[in-house]
Amino acid sequence: MTQTTFLQYEAPWPVHSIDWCKTPAPGQQLRARSSFRLGIASFTENFQNRIAVVGLQDERVLVEDDYSEYPDFVTLCETHHGYPATSLQWQPANSLSHAWTQKSPTSELLATTSDALRVWEYSNDVPTSVSNFVGRQNTSLGGHSLTLKTALSGQSKVQSQSNGAPLTSFSWNEKAPSLIVTSSIDTTCTVWNIDTSAAITQLIAHDREVYDVAWLPGSTDIFVSVGADGSLRAFDLRSLEHSTILYETPAPKNVPPPPSSPSSTARPPTSPLLRISFNPSDSNYMSTFHMDGTEVQILDMRSPGQPVLELKVHQAPINALGWSSSEQPLLATASDDCQVLVWDLANYIQSTTSPRSAGSRLNSPRPDVKKRVVSEPVMAYSASSQVTNLAWSPLIQGMTMGNGLSTTTGEWIAIASGKQIKALKV
């Protein structure tokens, strides 16, 4: 009897944002089911959007046997969200040991961005004596709740209205889980303390909209951002008077010449950068991609200025990317070509014996490394439609079920494609 390598779920609405829980539920560390929980958010062009937590219907779907007639995932709880969530994330793994002042030790946090940064508290109050019965059909979803804890939208530095401008993304600090940095279309980034619901600092980060932001792994001071001005910039909270430009995209080709008398509001053409993500095992390396771009750029913070690697296989614009959390991380990319590609860059990335520490200052641009092109992913999956987003699971330990069957340790990728969510064992 073989193990399942493919799980699926159909949401009642198109899915945009998705994230895999970083840890088992409090008090349920020995339960296979609690490691297979996803947070998902809808994308509909109205104010009726939803967010939901979905989980395994029955642990026995992890081994292929007579349970194929059951759906793999079931909705545990959902709630109204208004505008679509531009990003949804579970609390970092380190949150379990963090000294929260405003949170129950048995609950977990999720956060979303849209017109505000919202922090949600997810609770699973099903008694352990009941939920430990393997194979119990969860027909009653009582006990699972998702409640709004706080909504944060501060006064914008660059806009006069009292409520903040729409937020495009956020990054949750793994070392200090009370810190979240958000990015906005109003050119700013804001660092929040979600435990005290206070804005620590807001800074004008780019010349145009900011599309994504990421904390440097292991640091509570340094973060990077990308935006519509085509630049990747790094900021250090200890010296906010300047930023470091790590990369600027070349000007787009085939752009019509400017008018003979350009207006005062005319902006030079740029190739926006949409996403930024650090390699968790070697934070010198980051991955990004351009709007409408089919290649992924890998940048080295020690040699800013131009990519050190470019991944070229996708045949249509890339929508999402993400690194796994294993010792030798894999990079997954998803595209409008209906493909999810997994890349092993270990042979291309030169890890130094003395890496730049998270506490050190940033280098100035030194574009002296030649770019290498990589065109051989180690895995490929074809979806039935365009893949809009993806999320890696943490490393999930192998477990023995109550029926004697067992699973092996490994990682999964969840992908969103229309209303379909598929989880693939890597």
Per-residue pLDDT of the chain (426 residues; tens, 9 = 90+): 578 899 999 999 999 999 999 988 887 766 778 899 999 999 999 999 999 999 998 888 888 765 666 789 999 999 999 999 999 999 999 888 888 888 888 899 999 999 999 999 999 875 443 333 333 333 335 689 999 999 999 666 666 555 679 999 999 999 999 999 999 999 999 999 999 999 999 999 999 999 999 999 999 999 999 999 999 999 999 998 889 999 999 877 766 666 555 554 555 677 999 999 999 999 999 999 999 999 999 999 999 999 999 999 999 999 999 999 988 889 999 999 999 999 999 998 876 544 444 455 555 444 455 789 999 999 999 999 999 999 999 999 888 877 778 889 999 999 999 999 999 999
Q: Whose CA is closest to 194, among 123, 105, 102, 94?
A: 102
pLDDT of amino acid 259: 59
Examine residue 43 and state whether it is found in any structural domain, yes or no: yes
pLDDT of amino acid 263: 54
pLDDT of amino acid 136: 35
Examine residue 316 and state whether it is found in any structural domain, yes or no: no
**Inter-residue contact 356 to 284 (CB < 8 Å):** yes
Task: Dump the DSSP string for 14-42.
Answer: -EEEEEE-SSPPTT-TT-SGGGSEEEEEE
* Beta pairing, strands 330-335 & 339-344: antiparallel
Examine residue 85 and state whether it is found in any structural domain, yes or no: yes
Q: Whose CA is closest to 390, among 328, 325, 312, 333?
A: 333
**Inter-residue contact 315 to 305 (CB < 8 Å):** no
pLDDT of amino acid 370: 75
**Inter-residue contact 419 to 6 (CB < 8 Å):** no
The tally of domains found in the chain comes to: 1
Examine residue 5 and state whether it is found in any structural domain, yes or no: yes
The pTM of this model reads: 0.89
Examine residue 86 and state whether it is found in any structural domain, yes or no: yes
Question: d(Cα 12, Cα 26) in Å, to the nearest integer?
Answer: 28
Residue 370 has a CB neighbour count (10 Å cut-off) of: 8
The most distant pair of C-alpha atoms in the chain lies apart, rounded to whole Å, by 77
pLDDT of amino acid 104: 85
- 128 sits in which H/E element: helix 128-131
Q: Which two tokens stand for residue 337?
A: 């070509």
Parent domain of 37: 1-98+117-128+139-148+394-425
Examine residue 166 and state whether it is found in any structural domain, yes or no: no
pLDDT of amino acid 48: 96
Examine residue 408 and state whether it is found in any structural domain, yes or no: yes
Distances (CA, A) of 300 to 97, 288, 372: 32, 11, 13
- Tokens 């937020």, residue? 167
Examine residue 283 and state whether it is found in any structural domain, yes or no: no
